[in-house]
Structure 1
């Protein structure tokens, strides 16, 4: 395990209405040691105050996934989509040749907390598209975004997959990459690998043909990214 990203070392942006922690270089935060992994370019851990949000802005040629942890996120874009994404649901927007959108806290009384994830697509200039759904648990490792939308997951334009890992306290689980690379981002809980503990906001990468056994010290929710070399 060569790449470890501890929560307290992430980039930070606090704009009053937004408290954001950047796993990789983003906006005014730049660190050449943390530019992403494989096609995974952004993981922003965002908390937005009631009624506030990101005004209309543009994207192109990026797969943008919103994983809502707490509260609800209101999405509106230039293709006519206007939806609320509550905790427990996942949204994927393929920006393609260009799309304008906004994201606001759907509540005027409670914060919304979500992960904003960007993955570089394997095709450019396509028609923008949007998908949203609740992904029901299918064991300890549940696919939530995959290249072909397998097993009830969302689809995206890249040979990469995102899984939700859920473990009960005391359970063991083995992560392995074979001919791929992987990245685990912990949303909540605490686990240990080789006597090294990891908690909410921490992350680590596995290289090609690497295997690690993790032990959940508490109930765990995490995202596992299966990525091309």
Structure 2
């Protein structure tokens, strides 16, 4: 049975120059829980950062963090010595491990605000070696693109967990099958646009899953940006993450 996570479930822990709509994936389940996660997929912050904002240097521990920018440019600086502009098509994975510090800035005179996802995954164990990865991809792929996967996968970015992350940028009228991996459950999130999964309409800030059967192909009702998470729900995981280890807000 298809289950839908509606946008009215989300909280906004930050508002103003930095507004984060916090998607807590466990809200897609029927039962009450204090854990926000869907297996090791802990939290998705759908964020808007206004021009002129600086999020000062701060520390993460035991968070695996994918930064996925849809529009605008975030200027990244970190404890590994990298200073890199992150914009659409430039992916960044921060594997915080035992300790990782970073700062994000949006320049006052840039053309537009930043809209992005910060995706927090729980690593398989605590205090792994900190590292950072970057990867460039096309920004208008109408077929699925594998962005992130475990260490033994063919993904360009590695997460130290049994999680795969894909994106796709389909156009109105397209129809797409959904990738499947045996033993992994899907969490399909709409960042932009509108799609139809069977008889279920899914819009921006919403997600769907099926706990019993593969998700069917979906139709594109309005040009969209869609992310697919395939998650090993039984994977061992660390609960010590700065953000990924938090309880529900």
State the TM-score, normalizing by the size of structure 2.
Answer: 0.81
Q: Residue 185 of structure 1: which of 184, 189, 193 is its match?
A: 189
Partner residue, 1:76 = 77
- State the shift of 1:79 in Å: 2.0
- Structure-2 separation of matches of 1:167 and 1:139: 5
- Normalising by structure 1, what TM-score? 0.88
**Which region of structure 1 is more displaced relative to structure 2, 15-24 or 173-182?**
173-182
- Give secondary structure in 1 for the equivalent of 2:187: strand
Distance 1:82 1:62 in 2: 20
- Unpaired runs of 5+ in structure 1? 26-30
Q: 1:128 aligns with which of 127, 130, 136?
A: 130
Deviations 1:95-136 (A, max 9, x none): 011112111224534311110100011132222111112123
Equivalent residue for 1:12?
12
Contact 1:84 1:106 in 2 (8 A): no
SS at 1:43's partner residue? strand
How far apart, CA to CA, are the structure 2 residues paired with 1:212 and 1:33? Answer: 30
Matched pairs, number? 224
The corresponding residue for 2:199 is 195
Structure 1 position 10, deviation (Å): 1.0
User: How far 1:226 sits from its partner (Å)?
Assistant: 0.8
Give the ranges of 4+ consecutive aligned residues of structure 1 lying more than 4 Å apart after TM superposition. 149-152
1:113 matched residue in structure 2: 115
Match of 1:225 in 2: 229
Counterpart contact for 1:172–1:216, Cα < 8 Å: yes
Which residue does the alignment assign to 1:142? 145
Indicate if the aligned counterparts of 1:180 and 1:208 stay in contact, CA closer than 8 A.
Answer: no
Q: Which runs of 5+ in 2 are unaligned?
A: 26-31, 234-249
CA separation of 1:208/1:55 partners in 2, compared to 1, >3 Å: closer, same or farther? farther
Structure with bigger strand share is 1
Superposed displacement of residue 208, structure 1: 4.9
Larger relative contact order (Cα-Cα within 8 Å, sequence gap ≥ 6): 2
The Cα shift of 1:145 comes to 1.0
